[in-house]
Amino acid sequence: MKRPILIVFAVLMLTACKKPPFVFHWERTGNKPLICFKDYCRKKHHRDKEQRKLVQKKVKEKEKAIARGDSTYSIKVKKRTRTYKINEATIARSKMDSIETSAGDDKKKLRKVKYINTVLGAVYFPTNSSDLDGEAFWTLDDIAAWIEEHPETIIEVSGHTDDTGSDGQNNSLSKSRVRAVGKYLIKEKGIDKHRLVPAAYGSGVPIASNDTEEGREKNRRVELKVVAE
C-alpha cells in the first residue's frame, strides 16, 4: 500500500511545483520525446504559462476600463506597473451597442453592432525595417487574446510606412510588415489565417505629418481592425 501512496504524493508534488522538473510535448514533431527534462523546454513552458496569465489579466482590465469609460488601464507585472492606452475608436465603438433599421413603415428589431471598424491596436517599426520588437510582441499578445475570445470576427492587418523612399519600396515594405505580424499571430499565437485579411497601403494612409520624426514614427505601423463579425 505504501508504494501507490508514495506515487500519488510524488505526482501531486510535481504538479504543484511552479517549475516542474519535466514538461510534456503533446504535439510531437521529429524526435521530440513525450516527456522532456530539458532545462530550455521547462523554462519556455513556464514563460508561456506566465504570459498567458498576463494576457488574460490585460484583457480583463482593458474591458473593465472600457466599461468605466477610462482611456487607460494599468496592470502590475512583478514589481513594475505598466500603463496602457486604449484607442479612442475602441471606446467610442463600445458605446454604440445597437442601431435601428427599418424596412418601409415596419421597424425591425434593434441589431447589435459591437466591433465593426474597431481598431484593436497597432505595432510600430523602425525606418526601413519589418522586425518586431518587445513592445510589439506585448501588443500582439493582447490582440491575439481578444481575437480568440471573439471567434466571430474578421481582422484586417494593414501595413503602412512613412513617405521616405519610393512608392515601390514603401509598398514592398508595408507588405513585409504585414507578413511579420501575420506570421507571429498564426504561428506563435495559433490564430486561424482565414480570419486575417492582409492589406498593404504603403505611405498612402498617414495618420500624422511626415514632416517631423515624431509623425513618421506614428506612420510606420501595422494596424489591426475588425472588418466583419
Place of cell 482590465: 61
Reported as a single tens digit per residue, the pLDDT across 47-56 is: 667 776 777 7
Confidence of residue 110 (pLDDT cuts 50, 70, 90): very low
- What residue ranges do the domains of the chain occupy? 20-86, 89-228
One DSSP character per residue, 135-151 reads HHHHHHHHHHHHHHH-T
Mean of the pLDDT values across residues 29-54?
A: 65
In 3D space, the residue among 189, 190, 197, 198 whose CA is nearest the CA of residue 153 turns out to be 197
Reported as a single tens digit per residue, the pLDDT across 166-189 is: 989 999 999 999 999 999 999 999
Strand blocks (E) in 86-204: 102-103, 106-107, 119-124, 154-159, 196-200
Q: What percent of the chain has pLDDT over 70?
A: 65
* pLDDT at 12 (0 to 100): 56
Reported as a single tens digit per residue, the pLDDT across 125-158 is: 999 999 998 889 989 999 999 999 898 899 999 9
* pLDDT at 121 (0 to 100): 92
**CATH number of the domain located at residue range(s) 89-228 in this protein:** 3.30.1330.60
The pTM (predicted TM-score) of the whole model is 0.54
